[in-house]
Homo-oligomer: A and B are copies of this chain.
Amino acid sequence: MTLSPPFIVSAPGKVIIFGEHAAVFGKPAIAAAVSLRTYLLVTPSDSKDEIILDFPDIGLYQSWKSSELPWDVAEKYQQGKPQPTDELVPEIVSEIAKLLTDLDKTIFYAAASSFLYLYVNLCSRHSEGLRFTVRSTLPIGAGLGSSASISVCLTSALSLLGNHIKPAFLKKDDLTSDNEDSLFIDSWAYMGEKCIHGNPSGIDNAVATHGGAVMFQRMQSSIPSVRTTMRNFPPLKLLLTNTRQPRRTAELVSNVSRLTNEFPKTSSNILDAIEALTREAYNIMIRPFFDEAARNRLRELFQINHGLLIALGVSHPTLERARMLTDEMNVGKTKLTGAGGGGCAITLLNDQVEDEIMKNLKLKYEELGYETYETSLGGKGVGFLPFNNDVSFNPENFKQKTSNEIEISLGAQNDGWKFW
């Protein structure tokens, strides 16, 4: 095992499981990792001066000359181990912008600027030429933290390459515990998120780094969010359903805000109920024993939370249709996740669901044009897969995989090995 390329890094996406919308009003919310992950393959590029970002899921392929990156500016801000700043450094951002003038899509620009910002902060002008190939099994832009999982992958790889995290970190089976290295990744991934989202909550990168689940609460704007990571939370079977109904998050948020003006007492009671159930869920999730009764309670809280979100007016007929089917077929409890008004629904599946029924349900969703992902809630954060030097690895194989599970052929001796 070496620290030099080729290697793969992976990080999970997230779903908000309790407290969305109420979070805007300072209530706690819980986000949890899902087993849908982003994978980053780092391989040498053809030339020492060539850096390639290859992100086939969105059709982005871009290369830069390392020598043209704004090293002088970046080095002004870094002395010793790189420290993330409160805000992005405008000077670096504007220098990077000059390298991105030919990127005509917002998503390309966001991905590339985030990548280069992390690159010049975490690597050096002496780094070798590399190719970064990103693959995600997460739907992009569906509120599932795809950008944070990418940011965590990039940060982890670049931190490894820049020697900012210890090799020992890679060897641990459980990478989800708080330590200097994981906190370093989390904090820099947050900077990557800032390049994309401006003012992200920091939850998505926390979940993508640490795995498990995170309870968070926004305080007054000057005070950072309170975060509690739940790492003992065992993986639960989750069906994630993307209704593909486009959402208008800002509109939904402002509608809830209108409701709190129009019906202040009713709304405040509803928000209090969401807070109460979120804390209830937290108390269930941190228990050392997570038995069937606990899972049932969590399912019931899914139902309660969803009802309250309907009361807040943020559901949508496509989500209700998704929920109705799982209720009728008795496979589990379903709630919307995130902004609502379309987007994704999540079903906390019953402990026992017959394959036939599951197949039937997924068929019905397909007929409605929904995408389903059988995944699990909770689970591991960032992970590394270093290769032995004798393994020849072709990035094109990595790119061409289109299934939900990326299977990485490591040659005869490791054929079919699946990476988390």
**What residues of chain A have their CB less than 8 Å away from a CB belonging to chain B?**
259, 262-263, 265-266, 269-270, 272-273, 276-277, 279-280, 297, 300-301, 303-313, 315, 317, 320-321, 323-324, 327-328
B266, A297: Cβ atoms closer than 8 Å: no
Q: Which residues of B contact A266 (CB under 8 A)?
A: 273, 276-277, 280, 301, 304
Given A266-B280, A272-B272, A308-B308, 18 more A-B residue pairs with CB atoms under 8 Å apart are A262-B297, A263-B276, A263-B277, A263-B301, A266-B304, A269-B269, A269-B270, A269-B272, A273-B311, A303-B311, A304-B311, A304-B312, A306-B310, A307-B309, A307-B310, A307-B315, A310-B310, A317-B328
Interface centre among A262, A273, A303 (most CB of B within 10 A): A273
Q: Which residues of B contact A276 (CB under 8 A)?
A: 263, 265-266, 269
Q: Which residues of B contact A328 (CB under 8 A)?
A: 317
Q: How long is the Cα–Cα vector from A327 to B304 in the complex, in angstroms?
A: 21
Shortest CB-to-CB span from A190 to chain B, Å, is 32
Shortest CB-to-CB span from A336 to chain B, Å, is 12
Shortest CB-to-CB span from A324 to chain B, Å, is 5
Query: What 9 pairs across the A-B complex have the smallest Cβ distances?
Result: A307-B311, A307-B310, A269-B273, A265-B276, A266-B276, A269-B272, A266-B277, A304-B311, A317-B328
Copies per complex of this chain:
2
Q: How long is the Cα–Cα vector from A239 to B263 in the complex, in angstroms?
A: 25
Shortest CB-to-CB span from A27 to chain B, Å, is 11
Interface centre among A263, A303, A306 (most CB of B within 10 A): A263
Q: Which residues of B contact A320 (CB under 8 A)?
A: 320, 323-324, 327
B313, A303: Cβ atoms closer than 8 Å: yes
Q: Which residues of B contact A304 (CB under 8 A)?
A: 259, 263, 266, 270, 311-313
- Which residue of chain B has the shortest Cβ distance to A305 in the bound complex? B311
Q: Which residues of B contact A317 (CB under 8 A)?
A: 324, 327-328
Q: How long is the Cα–Cα vector from A307 to B276 in the complex, in angstroms?
A: 17
Q: How long is the Cα–Cα vector from A203 to B317 in the complex, in angstroms?
A: 34
Q: How long is the Cα–Cα vector from A388 to B98 in the complex, in angstroms?
A: 95
Shortest CB-to-CB span from A369 to chain B, Å, is 15
Q: Which residues of B contact A315 (CB under 8 A)?
A: 307
Q: How long is the Cα–Cα vector from A305 to B300 in the complex, in angstroms?
A: 19
Q: How long is the Cα–Cα vector from A276 to B279 in the complex, in angstroms?
A: 23
Shortest CB-to-CB span from A236 to chain B, Å, is 19
Q: Which residues of B contact A279 (CB under 8 A)?
A: 265
Interface centre among A306, A310, A327 (most CB of B within 10 A): A310
B272, B273, B303: the one within 8 Å of A310 (CB): B303
Shortest CB-to-CB span from A172 to chain B, Å, is 38
Once A263-B280, A324-B321 are accepted as A-B contacts, the answer to whether A311 and B308 lie under 8 Å apart by CB is yes
Q: Which residues of B contact A309 (CB under 8 A)?
A: 307
- Which residue of chain B has the shortest Cβ distance to A325 in the bound complex? B317
Q: How long is the Cα–Cα vector from A34 to B327 in the complex, in angstroms?
A: 31
B263, B272, B297, B307: the one within 8 Å of A307 (CB): B307
- Which residue of chain B has the shortest Cβ distance to A319 in the bound complex? B324
Shortest CB-to-CB span from A61 to chain B, Å, is 41
Q: Which residues of B contact A259 (CB under 8 A)?
A: 300, 304
21 contacts between A and B (CB under 8 A): A259-B300, A262-B297, A262-B300, A263-B280, A266-B273, A266-B276, A266-B277, A272-B272, A273-B311, A300-B313, A304-B311, A304-B313, A306-B311, A307-B308, A307-B309, A307-B311, A310-B310, A311-B311, A317-B327, A320-B327, A324-B324
